[in-house]
Amino acid sequence: MSHRTLIAYASRAGSTAEVAETVGDVLRENGIDVDVRSVKDITEVAGYDSLVFGSAIWAGKPLPELLRFVAGQRDTIAQLPVAYFILCDTLREYTPANRQIALGYLAPLRKLREPVNVGMFAGRRDFSRVHPILAWILMRAFHLAEGDWRDWEQIREWAATVAPQLTGASAHLATGAA
């Protein structure tokens, strides 16, 4: 019987979705049967052996649709190994202080369920994928620049590390991926 994992993500402009697909590819390479889906397209998590939840960070916390989804599945999630990953601007500079700040963004999820592992990554900012008025505000009022700061090697290494933890080969809690 194969191990089934659901990767459920919340993404505003597609960056987190791309990372979720990459994590799914690595888990498949490690022999895990994986479904990668937006939380908007999922009604329940029954039938899976483990779960990975990913979110962009906006205003210092995971996207609200992910938090609602995880809270709504709390009873099922309590019985399964769970891992989280986030993408945030704070990690554009991957320093110990910034990793500690980013770890704090996970507090709402960790209150619902402690993970077996946490992946924290820098993201991408692409204003062409958000409403033009919001893009203008972000660029002019907040002086934010576009860019892609994702470290694909770091993301793949984290996924390879979390694979055995999801399947039960390792049950210790790890935080702050490589």
Q: What pLDDT was estimated at residue 5?
A: 97
* Total residues found in the chain within this entry: 178
- Strands (E) located in 39-162: 50-58, 61-62, 82-87, 117-121, 124-125, 147-148
Q: Does position 131 have pLDDT exceeding 80, yes or no? A: no
Q: The domain at 4-167 falls in which architecture?
A: 3-Layer(aba) Sandwich (3.40)
Q: Does position 125 have pLDDT exceeding 80, yes or no? A: no
Q: Does position 104 have pLDDT exceeding 80, yes or no? A: yes
pLDDT greater at residue 144 or residue 155? 155
In the chain, where are the structural domains located?
4-167
- Strands (E) located in the chain: 4-10, 33-38, 50-58, 61-62, 82-87, 117-121, 124-125, 147-148
The CA distance from 171 to 177, in Å, is 16
Task: Record the pTM.
Answer: 0.84
The 3-state DSSP class for residue 78 equals: coil
Q: With beta carbons less than 8 A apart as the criterion, state whether 73 and 44 touch.
A: yes
Task: Summarize pLDDT for 16-56 with one digit per residue, the tens.
Answer: 999 999 999 999 999 999 999 999 999 889 999 999 999 99
